[in-house]
Amino acid sequence: MTLKILYGVQGTGNGHTTRARVMAKAFEERRDVEVDFLFSGRAKEKYFDMEVFGDFQTRKGLTFIHSEGSVNPFKTVTQARPIQLWKDVKALDLSGYDLVLNDFEPVSAWAAKQQKVPSISISHQAAFAHDVPKAGQSVIDRLIMNNFAPTQMSLGVHWYHFGHAIMPPFIEDQLSDVTIGSHYLVYLPFESLEEISTLLESLSEYNFMCFHPDVEQERDEGHISWCKTSKAGFHKALHSCAGVIANGGFELSSECLQLGKKLLIKPLHGQFEQLSNAKTLDALGLCQIMMSLDQEKLEQWLDLPPGEAIEFPSDPCALIDWLVKGEWQDTASVVKALWQQVKFPDNVQRKLDSMVKA
């Protein structure tokens, strides 16, 4: 019997899409599952490198509006379209599906709730329902986490399980072709090009490759290369860079940890998930933090040695086996199987053990 799944993916940013891409490639190898993908959060023409998802659907959904490196609550509320969201929820027919798999995507989650179709959240956001390190979480944040994309069951995704139903991230990029080059990768999509240029322009002894959605024409300006966002170009630069300067998104940070790249994190203000990610990485000695575009912090970080790699799983087969088996209330078995594949450096493992005991 074939398990038929609708996989709803939050399309704001690229992190959720990255995780879904790993899952999609694994699903393609199976004959016991059929999966359709639905993305929401941005216009269809704004997605890129989406071939693996086949004839995917898109919806308006809900998204957070950012400006000058912060979440803009006013624009987020005024640009939300709750009537359109409700229409999309009501119009989404799930009668042909056995399961809705959900990565913080509201249309498919609410449709599953309305139509009483089994639903499972597999997302980083789901990890924050548990006792994990948090920073800057407000009452509104808790309401959003609980109600934005509600599901019957959930598996969080985080860099450690902290004793809960949380699984490790799946990382497509493995260690085989990693080098430590002379350039630093910069990915700060919520900061303006002008602000990034001001931060980097005087550090002429270093080379920076800056990927940004506002770059329309690729160009070199002395020691700064401005690059369009693309999966192939970005990952080539990531594999060969000396370090990464980025916001606090989960998926990119996970890739950097897997590849042993040192991290300088500038979390997005007003985004408790990124603030919490930065807090966790800092506690484990896996990143440096700058709360603003701080040249002094950047210079201190540039002088630090390379990072140490963490080995995360690349094959989600154990998770798909668990989905097909259908015993979805039993999360302990799949979580245990996946964490057995993870290898931490000794110093990180010691810090994790002390965090859990505390």
Task: Give the model's pLDDT for residue 314.
Answer: 86
How far does Cα 344 stand from its chain's mean position? 20
Looking at 166-170, 176-180, 239-243, 321-325, which range is the least confident one? 176-180
Whole-number percent of the chain with pLDDT over 70: 92
Expressed as residue numbers, the domain containing 194 is 183-302
Pair 119, 28 in one domain: yes
Pair 198, 143 in one domain: no
Task: Give the model's pLDDT for residue 15.
Answer: 81
Whole-number percent of the chain with pLDDT over 90: 72
Is the residue at 307 inside a domain? no
Is the residue at 20 inside a domain? yes
Pair 207, 93 in one domain: no
What would the two tokens of residue 108 be?
Answer: 């498919």
Pair 104, 252 in one domain: no
Confidence label for 222 from pLDDT (cuts 50, 70 and 90): very high
Task: Give the model's pLDDT for residue 74.
Answer: 44
Pair 91, 39 in one domain: yes
**Is the pLDDT confidence value at 322 over 90?**
yes
Is the residue at 55 inside a domain? yes
Pair 24, 167 in one domain: yes
Pair 96, 239 in one domain: no
Q: What is the pLDDT of residues 286-319, one digit of tens each?
A: 999 999 999 999 999 999 999 889 999 988 999 9
**Average pLDDT score over residue span 19-32:** 94
**Is the pLDDT confidence value at 97 over 50?**
yes
Whether the CB-CB separation of 297 and 291 falls below 8 Å is answered with no
Looking at 196-205, 229-238, 258-267, 284-293, which range is the least confident one? 229-238
Pair 15, 159 in one domain: yes
Is the residue at 177 inside a domain? no
**Average pLDDT score over residue span 145-161:** 93
Strand partners, 174: none
Provide the domain count of the chain.
2
User: 68: domain CATH number?
Assistant: 3.40.50.2000
Pair 323, 215 in one domain: no
**Is the pLDDT confidence value at 69 over 60?**
no
Q: Which residues contact 37 (CB under 8 A, 6 or more apart)?
A: 6, 7, 9, 20, 24, 53, 54, 56, 57
Pair 194, 284 in one domain: yes
Is the residue at 164 inside a domain? yes
Pair 197, 247 in one domain: yes
Looking at 38-52, 56-70, 129-143, which range is the least confident one? 56-70
Task: Give the model's pLDDT for residue 293.
Answer: 96
Confidence label for 63 from pLDDT (cuts 50, 70 and 90): low
HEC states along the chain? CCEEEEEEEECCCCHHHHHHHHHHHHHHCCCCEEEEEEEECCCHHHCCCCHHHCCCEEECCCCCCEECCEECHHHHHHCCCHHHHHHHHHHCCCCCCCEEEEECCHHHHHHHHHHCCCEEEEEHHHHCCCCCCCCCCCHHHHHHHHHCCCCCEEEEECCCCCCCCEECCCCCCCCCCCCCCCEEEEECCCCCHHHHHHHHCCCCCCEEEEECCCCCCCEEECCEEEECCCHHHHHHHHHHCCEEEECCCHHHHHHHHHHCCEEEECCCECCHHHHHHHHHHHHCCCCEECCCCCHHHHHHHHCCCCCCCCECCCCCHHHHHHHHHCCCCCHHHHHHHHHCCCECCHHHHHHHHHHHHC
Of the two residues 108 and 69, the one the predictor is more confident about is 108
Task: Give the model's pLDDT for residue 122.
Answer: 96
| Average pLDDT score, the chain | 90
pTM of the model: 0.89
Pair 71, 109 in one domain: yes
**Is the pLDDT confidence value at 251 over 80?**
yes
Burial of 303 (0-12, 13-18, 19+ CB in 10 A): exposed
Cα distances from 240 to residues 135, 180, 182, in angstroms, run 32, 5, 8
Is the residue at 308 inside a domain? no
Task: Give the model's pLDDT for residue 67.
Answer: 52
Of 255, 277, 302, the domain-final residue: 302
